[in-house]
Amino acid sequence: MKSPIEPKLLKGFRDFLPESEIVRKSMTRKLETVFEQFGFVPIDTPAIEYAEILLGKSGGETEKQIYSWRDQGGRRVALRFDLTVPFARFLAQHRPRLVFPFKRYHIAKVWRGENPQAGRYREFMQCDFDIVGADSVSADAEILLVVCRSFKSLRIEDFKIHVSHRGALNDFLSSLGIADRSADILRLVDKSRKIGPEKTSSELAALIGPEKTDSILDFISFVDSNELALQKMAGILGEDNSHVGRLRDVYACFRELGMAHYLVFDPSITRGLDYYTALVFETFVAGAEGMGSVCSGGRYDNLVSVYSKEKLSGIGGSVGIDRLLAVIEELGELPSWKGKTQIVIPVVDEDLARYYHKLAEMLRSEGFNVEVFHEKLKLAAQFTLAEKKGIPCAVIVGGRERERNVVQVRDFATRSNFENLSVPEAIVKLKGILQV
Amino acid sequence: MKSPIEPKLLKGFRDFLPESEIVRKSMTRKLETVFEQFGFVPIDTPAIEYAEILLGKSGGETEKQIYSWRDQGGRRVALRFDLTVPFARFLAQHRPRLVFPFKRYHIAKVWRGENPQAGRYREFMQCDFDIVGADSVSADAEILLVVCRSFKSLRIEDFKIHVSHRGALNDFLSSLGIADRSADILRLVDKSRKIGPEKTSSELAALIGPEKTDSILDFISFVDSNELALQKMAGILGEDNSHVGRLRDVYACFRELGMAHYLVFDPSITRGLDYYTALVFETFVAGAEGMGSVCSGGRYDNLVSVYSKEKLSGIGGSVGIDRLLAVIEELGELPSWKGKTQIVIPVVDEDLARYYHKLAEMLRSEGFNVEVFHEKLKLAAQFTLAEKKGIPCAVIVGGRERERNVVQVRDFATRSNFENLSVPEAIVKLKGILQV
C-alpha cells in the first residue's frame, strides 16, 4: 500500500465546514429573497471562458491575476475573475432573447491569483445585481434600495451607503482644465481612503500641481450633512448641473421612503473601474469601516462595448459575500452555526430501526427536520452527540414505549422529559418546545 | 475604436438564462430542504486543488479529462471533476473537527474536458449526500429514503431505485473461482445496459469463457418481483449470506414505510467505480430510462484511503442536477420558468416615481414580490412587458388616483380592473387574485 497523500489545500483557498457553510448559505438565500422581492431574476454563466473574452478590456494587472491555461484543444481559456465581464458578454450574446429592462442577479464564485492576505482569498463568492436598459432616477434609487433591504434582511441595521457621481467629478475636473487626467485622478481619489490624505495629496500634486490638488481635496472633502454636501456640490458646479440634480432626485426618493439616513453624499467615492460613468456608491458597516466597502457599484453608460456595437446602459451593485462574512465575524455577530435539525430519534433498540424511520417520516410530514441516529450507543452518548449537533429535542422510543404505542419527548435545553405521549400528543409538545 | 470581440462560449459550456436558472435554483432549493429534513449539513470545498490530490487514486481516463495547468507559482493545479474526491480529502483533513456520523450534502459545479455529446457538458452541477461513519441497515435505508423524498419533492413520482450489492456479486464470482477478475467483470456488467446483452456476453466470454459467462448472465438477469429476486439471490449464495440478509433488511424497512414499490432488486447494477463495496444503486425515471441513472451511489468501506491511514466507511448518493433537468425537459414536465414577481407597478406619471417605490415597499412588507417599472412607456406597452415577464397583477396609480389616495388593481389573466381601492383594500384584492 502506498503511503497516504497529505490532505491539504492550495494557499489562498478554503474549505467551508458546516458551521461556516450554513451561515453563508443562509446569507445568500436571504439576498436571493430580497432580489426576488424586487423582480430580479437569476442567471448563470460558465466558470471557464475564452481568455480573450474575459480579458477583453482589462489591463495588465488583471492579466497577471487571472487563472489562465491552454485546454486539451489548445485553446487559451481562463477562470472568470468577476461576474461583470461575463455578464457583459452574456448581454451581447443573448440580447434578442432577453426582456429589457433586464434585472438580473448572479451569485457565484470568482478566482484571482493575487497574493492572499488577511480576509483576501484566491477563490471567493460574489453577488451581483443589475438593472440594464433603464436610465432613470427610479432605477438608481431602486439599486440603492435593494442594498438597504439586503443589509436589513441580514439584520445589519447600522450601515451607510456612500454615494457620489462620476459625471459631477468629471465636470469639476473639466472646469479645472484637467479632464484629460481624469482616469489617473479618479484612481488616486479612489485609493485615498487606503493611502491617507498626505500620500493622496503628494501624489496628486506630482500629477497636476499643488493648486489644483488643493481644489480637488476641497471638492472631495467630507461634509457631515447630505443637504450641505449637495449644496456645496451645486455651489461649485452650478445650480443647474444635471448630475447634482440627479443626486438630489435620488435623495428625495429616499427621504420619501424614510430611508435618507442610510445615504451619505461623499464626493471621495469614485470607484476606480473605468466603466462607471454616473452615480457610484460604496457601503460601509458601522464598526467595520476599516474592512472596506461590502457592497459597491454604480451606473455605466455602456457595459457591452467590448462585444457589441450597440450600447446598453445600466446600474448595478455587487455584494462581497466573503468579505461581508468576515465583517459580521469581526463584529462578533456571526449567527449561530447550528444546523436546522429540530428533533433527533436515538437508537434505544436496534430492532426498532424501521419504526424510527417511520416515526421520523411522520414528524417530517408535520414540517419538522428530523435526524434518525443509526448506531446503538449508550443513550447518554447519543444525547451528547445530539447536543454537539445543536439539536434541541429528542423523541425516544424503547421496546416498552413501542408496545404501548407511546413515545417520550426530551427538551435538551431544560433537560426535561415528557413521558407516555401518543404521537399526536408528542407533536403538540414538540411544537410548543420549538415554538413553531 | 477596436471592433468588438465576438461574444461566444467554449464548446461544452452553457449560459443559464433566467427561464432555466429559475428552474435549476428551485430544484436545488427543494433538494436542500429534503437534506435538511433528514439532518444533513452543507459543506463547500474549492474548485481548484493540487492536481496530485485530485488525481490520487484515479487512472489515465480521469487524467485525460481533468482540467489541469501550472499556476502562477508553478504548482500543478486542477479543477475538481467530481465531489467525492474533494470530500475524501476534506474528511481526512478535518476529521477531528467533525461530528461523526457525519451527514453532509454538497451541491456544486464540476468540470470534465470530455467530448461534449447531447446532454453532456464540460461543466455541470452535482449534488452529493453522504453518511460517513455509520455502517448499519438504518443508514443504508436512510440514503435510499432521501432519494425517494428528493424525487417526490421535485414532483417526480414515477421512478425506480435499482438496488444491488457488490459484496453479493463478489461472493458469486468467488464461488466461480474468478474473484481475481472481478474489477473487469464489474465494469462489463455495469456497461451491459449501454452495450446490450450480446456484446456483454461476447466480451465476458473472451474474459472468462462461455460457461462462467452464462452463470453470470443468469445471476444478473432481471426478476420482476423483489421477493423472487431476493429469493433467487439467496438460492445461489445461500440463505445465510450476510449481503443478501442486508438487502432483505433494507427491503423490510421500505415495506414498513409503505415505499417498497420504489425499490427494484437488480443484480446487474454494479457501479463501475472501485470504491463501492456493498449496497449500490441507480435511479431511473419512468419514460426516460434511456437517459440513464439520475441518482446513483452506494456504500464504501473506506473513502479516505488515499489521504489517511485510518478508515472511514459510509454510504452516499449523487444527483446529476443537469441530467435530471434534461430528463424533466424530455418528459415535457419542465415547470413554468416564470419568475416569482407577483405585482408590477407601471409608470403612469414620472413625477410619482418616489410614491411608486413607497407603494412597492408597502406591498413587499405584506409579502408580495413587486417590480417597479422605471420608464414611462404607453400603458399598453408596459402591460405587454409585464405579461412577457409572467407577472400576474398590476397596481396602477396615475395623478388622479394619487390625489384621492386610491389605486387600481389589474388581473392580467382575466383582464379585469378593480378601481378606486384604498391600499388596504387593494392588498385584500391582490391576495384574492394571487391566492396567497
Which of residues 207 through 266 in chain B touch A, CB cutoff 8 A? 252-253, 256-257
Spatial contact of A17 and B57, defined as CB atoms under 8 Å apart: no
The owner of cell 455529446 is B117
**CATH no. of B159-279:** 3.30.930.10
Identity of the residue in A5, A75, A341 whose CB atom sits nearest the CB atom of B56: A5
pLDDT score of A194: 84
For residue A329, is pLDDT > 60? yes
Q: How many CA atoms lie within 13 A of B171 on its CB side?
A: 18
Which is it for strands B76-79 and B343-345: parallel, antiparallel or unpaired? unpaired
Reported as half-sphere exposure (CB side, CA atoms, 13 A), residue B418 has a value of: 19
Average pLDDT across chain B, whole number: 93
Alpha carbon B89 to chain centroid, angstroms: 22
The verdict on a CB contact (< 8 Å) between B90 and A15 is: yes
**pLDDT score for B193:** 83
Report pLDDT for A332: 78
Give yes or no for B384 touching A (CB within 8 A). no
d(CA B285, CA B166): 23
Residues in A touching B339 (Cβ below 8 Å): 36, 39, 41
Mean pLDDT, 10 residues at a time, chain B of 436 residues: 84 94 94 96 97 80 88 94 95 95 97 75 96 95 97 94 96 94 89 88 94 94 94 96 97 96 95 87 94 94 89 95 88 69 96 95 95 95 93 97 97 96 97 94
Give the minimum alpha-carbon distance from A115 to chain B in angstroms, rounded to a whole number: 10
- Cross-chain residue pair A77–B41, CB shorter than 8 Å: no
User: How far away is chain B from the Cα of A289, in angstroms, using its nearest Cα?
Assistant: 28
B93 touches chain A (CB under 8 A): yes
CA distance A20 to chain B (A): 8
State the fold for domain B9-151+286-337.
BirA Bifunctional Protein; domain 2 (3.30.930)
In a 10 Å sphere around its CB, with 0-12 CB exposed, 13-18 middle and 19+ buried, how is residue A280 labelled? buried
CB A293 within 8 A of CB A283: yes
Give CATH for domain A343-434.
3.40.50.800
Q: Is A89 on the interface with B (CB under 8 A)?
A: yes
A21: closest chain B residue by CA = B43
Residue written as grid cell 408535520: A366
DSSP letters, B211-225, are HHHHHHHHHHS--S-
Same fold, B9-151+286-337 and B343-434: no
Reference B278, options B249, B303, B243; nearest CA is: B243
Alpha-carbon torsion (B357, B362, B365, B370), positive or negative: negative
Which H helix or E strand runs over B229?
Answer: helix B226-237
In the stretch 398-427 of chain B, residues with CB closer than 8 A to chain A read none
Residue B194 Cα, gap to closest chain A Cα (Å): 27
Residue where the block lists cell 443468469:
B218
pLDDT in tens, B301-345: 998 888 998 899 999 999 999 889 988 888 876 666 566 899 999
Residue with cell string 401518543: A422
Q: Which residue in A50, A307, A388 is closest to B99 by CB distance?
A: A388
Return the residue in B37, B124, B145, B322 with the most chain A beta carbons within 10 A, the one to mutate for interface testing. B37
What is the model's pLDDT at position B108? 98
- Closest to A394 in 3D by CA, of A416, A377, A378, A376: A416
Q: Give yes or no for B394 touching A (CB within 8 A).
A: no
Facing A93 at nearest CB: one of B8, B38, B344: B8
Question: What pLDDT is recorded for position A64?
Answer: 82
Cis (ω within 30 of 0) for the bond into A101? Answer: yes
CA angle A10, A56, A179 (to 5 degrees): 115
Kindly state whether A74 is in contact with chain B, defined as any CB-CB distance less than 8 angstroms. no
Share above pLDDT 90 across residues of chain A, in percent, rounded to a whole number: 81
How far is residue B353's CA from residue B346's CA, in Å, rounded to a whole number?
10
Print the SS3 string covering B324-385: HHHHHHHCCCCCCCCCCCCEEECCCCHHHHHHHHHHHHHHHHCCCCEEECCCCCCHHHHHHH
The reported pLDDT for the residue numbered A120 is: 75
CB–CB contact A369 B7 (8 Å): no
- Given this model, what pLDDT does residue A183 score? 87
**Phi, psi angles (nearest 5°) of residue A42:** -85, 150
Tell me what the mean pLDDT of segment A351-380 comes to.
Answer: 95
Interchain contact A311–B (C-beta under 8 A): no
Q: Which of B14, B109, B354 sits opposite A252 (nearest CB)?
A: B354
What's the rounded Cα separation, in Å, for the pair A41 and A25? 18
Cα torsion for A344, A346, A351, A355, to the nearest 10°?
-20
Q: d(Cα A371, Cα A357) in Å, to the nearest integer?
A: 9
With CA atoms as reference, report the closest residue to A127 among A15, A247, A42: A42
Per DSSP, the three-state class of B71 is: coil
Q: Residue B197's pLDDT is what? A: 87
Confidence of residue A57 (pLDDT cuts 50, 70, 90): low
Is B5–A375 a contact, with Cβ atoms under 8 angstroms apart?
no
The 10s digit of each residue's pLDDT in A89-107 is 999 999 999 999 999 999 9
Q: Are residues B257 and A358, on separate chains, in Cβ contact within 8 Å?
A: yes
CB contact under 8 A, B353 and A39: no
Helix count and strand count (H, E) for chain B? 16, 16
Q: Are B433 and B395 in contact (CB under 8 A)?
A: no
Q: Does B309 touch chain A (CB under 8 A)?
A: yes
Cα–Cα dist B129/B134, whole Å: 14
The answer to whether residue A72 scores a pLDDT higher than 90 is no
pLDDT in tens, A166-181: 999 999 999 999 999 9
CB contact under 8 A, B257 and A388: no
CATH class of A18-330: alpha beta
Contact assignment for B52 to A7 by CB distance below 8 Å: no
Q: Which of B9, B98, B370 sits opposite A49 (nearest CB)?
A: B9
CA distance A315 to A143: 7
| Distance to chain B for A66, nearest Cα, Å | 9
In the predicted structure, residue A2 carries a pLDDT above the cut 90? no
Strands B48-50 and B41-42: unpaired
CA–CA dist A7, B88 (Å, integer): 9
Report residue A61 as a C-alpha cell.
494587472
Q: Return the number of CB contacts < 8 Å for A and B.
A: 301
Rounded-to-integer distance, Cα A74 and Cα A70, Å: 5
- pLDDT of A218 above 80: yes
Checking phi first, is residue A367 left (phi over 0); if not, alpha (psi -120 to 50) or beta? Answer: left
Q: Whole-angstrom Cα distance, residue B320 to residue A427? A: 35
Q: Where are the alpha helices (DSSP H) in A95-162?
A: 137-153
pLDDT at residue A338 above 80? no
Encode pLDDT of A243-290 as tens digits. Answer: 999 999 999 999 999 999 999 999 999 987 778 999 999 999 999 998
pLDDT confidence bin for A336, thresholds 50/70/90? low
From residue A351, alpha-carbon distances to A348, A404, B249, B264 in Å are 9, 16, 11, 24
Residue A429 has pLDDT above 80, yes or no: yes
CB contact under 8 A, A358 and B45: no
Residue A344 and residue A394: Cα distance in Å, rounded? 5
Using CB atoms and an 8 Å cut-off, which of residues 339-368 of chain A contact chain B? 339-341, 344, 347, 350, 353-358, 360-361, 364, 368
Calculate the alpha carbon distances from B251 to A184, A333, B92, B161, B320 in Å: 72, 47, 33, 12, 25
Mean pLDDT across A123-144: 96
Question: Mean pLDDT score of chain A, rounded to an integer?
Answer: 93
The verdict on whether omega for the bond into residue B42 sits within 30 degrees of 0, i.e. cis, is no
Q: In the structure grid, which three cell numbers stand for residue A52, read together?
A: 480573450
Cα–Cα distance measured from residue B214 to residue A30, given in angstroms and rounded to the nearest whole number: 58
Nearest by CB to B17, from A4, A97, A134: name it.
A97
- The nearest CA of chain A is from the CA of B26 a distance in Å of 11
Are B361 and A48 an interchain contact pair (Cβ–Cβ within 8 Å)? no
pLDDT of amino acid A56: 82
Sequence ranges of the domains in chain B: 9-151+286-337, 159-279, 343-434
Is the alpha carbon torsion for A167, A173, A175, A181 positive or negative? negative
